[in-house]
Amino acid sequence: MSPQRQHRPDLGDAPDLDRLLDAWAERVRLGDDRAEQIRAAVIADPPAMDQRWWLDLVGRVTATVLQSTTMPAEARRALVPAGYAW
């Protein structure tokens, strides 16, 4: 058993995901062709990102950074969730 598996919080009656996956893996085996298809899909180049979406995101992030850095310190502190440590 790995060190990570030894130091788990008590989750009561929650199923152990590792055990569920181990049981599933004992019953299910992929053929070499199907395993290669999955591997190729995982490592394939991602589709091109929509340039409009990217520009919108960058614009929103930039506006938020500028707005938050130019507002008074008291206003910035008011935006920080209670209990958040800087």
| pLDDT at res. 40 | 92
State mean pLDDT over 63-72. Answer: 85
Return all residues near 86 (Cβ < 8 A) that are at least 6 apart.
80
What is the tens place of the pLDDT at every residue in 12-63?
A: 666 788 888 888 888 888 899 999 999 999 898 877 888 999 999 999 999 8
Q: Residue 29 in contact with residue 38, Cβ under 8 Å?
A: no
Q: Residue 30 in contact with residue 38, Cβ under 8 Å?
A: yes
| Residue matched to tokens 């589709």 | 47
- Better pLDDT: 1 or 71: 71
Is a pLDDT exceeding 80 seen at residue 75? yes
CA distances from 42 to 4, 36, 46 (A): 26, 10, 9
Among the listed residues 58, 42, 40, the one whose alpha carbon sits nearest the alpha carbon of residue 50 = 58
